């Protein structure tokens, strides 16, 4: 009895599995989270990066828009649908990505996409070209133009550094050759302090998308270096008018050099990453 029941259940399961193929129907499934994740992770970013500039929003070069599945199914002027869901061989979009056929239709026109990206698009079409959220692909907004003072930051920042090094060299000559080099120390230190203010202000105007903690650390050390340069300039002018030990001036000068080095190191971390240069 048990064996007969098992045989009946096995036969019913076999017939149920074979029914869709026999009738030519398709198995209906609900939302596919993996397809949605694949589109958002692998397809949408490529559409934004390589297609939206010419085929999204108000731009439809060749009559084609790629900012929605409906637009792709509508296709260009005379080419028909750009995507045929499920058909990897006949979808014009894939032929264009593979650089097959008319060279004028190759996309993107400047250079062929990496093979891995093309395989992602082929997989996307093969699974039915899912576009889960229905949200259109939007061309990236152009980056905000940095103010002029911010664009000058790489140039401005070298003035206080160079002037501080001149002040250090002049103080070394004071130590070796006497007080006749002392005015050069005061002038160079004052120039360094004034230039440091301009460097910090231009740096604030140049802030971009870097990590806020790195920006803050760089800015704080730059202000510390500026204060030390101003102190060096003030003490150097004081020593021009009154005799006394130049040791405090030399200590401040050394501290200013260290502060500038640390500030520069943190500035490099903003450009090359937190591990720079080690």
Q: What is the pLDDT of residues 30-49, one digit of tens each?
A: 445 677 788 888 888 888 88
Long-range CB contacts (within 8 A, 24+) of 162-167: 163/188, 163/189, 163/191, 163/192, 163/195, 164/188, 164/189, 164/192, 164/229, 164/232, 164/253, 164/256, 164/257, 164/260, 165/257, 166/192, 167/192, 167/232, 167/236, 167/253
In this predicted structure, the answer to whether residue 104 has a pLDDT above a threshold of 60 is: yes
Report the pLDDT value the prediction gives residue 148, as an integer from 0 to 100: 59
pLDDT digits (tens, 9 = 90+) for 198-218: 888 888 777 665 667 778 888
Instruction: Sort residue 154 into left (φ over 0), alpha (ψ -120 to 50) or beta.
Output: alpha
pLDDT tens digits along 110-154? 788 889 989 998 998 998 888 876 555 554 555 555 665 667 777
Residue limits of CATH 1.20.120 in the chain: 148-271
Q: Are 202 and 159 in contact (CB under 8 A)?
A: no
What is the reported pLDDT for 136?
56
Residue 14's pLDDT band, with cuts at 50, 70 and 90, is: very low
What are the tens digits of pLDDT across the range 152-210?
Answer: 777 888 889 999 999 999 999 998 988 888 899 999 999 999 999 988 888 877 766 56
Chain centroid to CA 44 = 17
Please, what is the average pLDDT of the chain?
Answer: 77
Which of 100, 120, 115, 105 is CA-nearest to residue 46? 120
**Displacement of CA 33 from its chain's centroid (Å):** 28
Least confident span in 56-70, 234-248, 259-273:
56-70
Read off the pTM. Answer: 0.47
Identify the pLDDT of residue 20: 38
Distance CA 135, CA 157 (A): 45
- Could you give the CA distance from residue 258 to residue 62 in angstroms, rounded to a whole number? 59
Q: Cα–Cα distance between 266 and 261 in angstroms, integer?
A: 9
Select the more confidently predicted residue: 25 or 50: 50
DSSP letter at 57 equals: T
| CATH architecture entry for 148-271 | Up-down Bundle (1.20)
Tell which wins on pLDDT, 56 or 7: 56
Highest averaged pLDDT of the listed ranges 66-80, 101-115, 179-193: 179-193
**73 — pLDDT class (breaks 50, 70, 90):** confident
């Amino acid at each position: 009895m048990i064996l007969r029941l098992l045989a009946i259940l096995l036969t019913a399961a076999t017939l149920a599995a074979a029914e869709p193929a026999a009738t030519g129907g398709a198995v209906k499934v609900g939302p596919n989270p993996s397809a949605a994740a694949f589109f958002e992770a692998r397809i949408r970013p490529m559409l934004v990066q390589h297609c939206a500039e010419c085929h999204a929003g108000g731009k439809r070069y060749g009559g084609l828009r790629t900012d929605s599945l409906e637009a792709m199914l509508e296709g260009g002027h005379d080419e028909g649908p750009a995507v045929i869901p499920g058909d990897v061989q006949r979808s014009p979009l894939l032929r264009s990505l593979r650089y097959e056929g008319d060279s004028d239709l190759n996309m993107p026109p400047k250079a062929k996409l990496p093979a891995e990206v093309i395989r992602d698009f082929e997989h996307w079409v093969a699974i039915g070209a899912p576009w889960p959220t229905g949200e259109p692909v939007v061309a990236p907004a152009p980056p905000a133009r940095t103010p002029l003072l911010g664009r000058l930051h790489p140039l401005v920042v070298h003035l206080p550094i160079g002037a501080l090094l001149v002040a250090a060299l002049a103080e070394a000559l004071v130590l070796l050759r006497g007080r006749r080099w002392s005015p050069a120390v005061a002038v160079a230190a004052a120039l360094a302090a004034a230039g440091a203010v301009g460097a910090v202000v231009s740096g604030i105007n140049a802030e971009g998308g870097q990590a806020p903690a790195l920006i803050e650390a760089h800015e704080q050390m730059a202000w510390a270096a500026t204060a030390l340069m101003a102190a060096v300039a003030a003490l150097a002018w004081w020593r021009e008018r009154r005799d006394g030990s130049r040791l405090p001036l030399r200590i401040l000068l050394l501290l200013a050099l260290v502060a500038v080095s640390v500030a520069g190191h943190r500035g490099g971390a903003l450009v090359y990453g937190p591990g720079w240069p080690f």
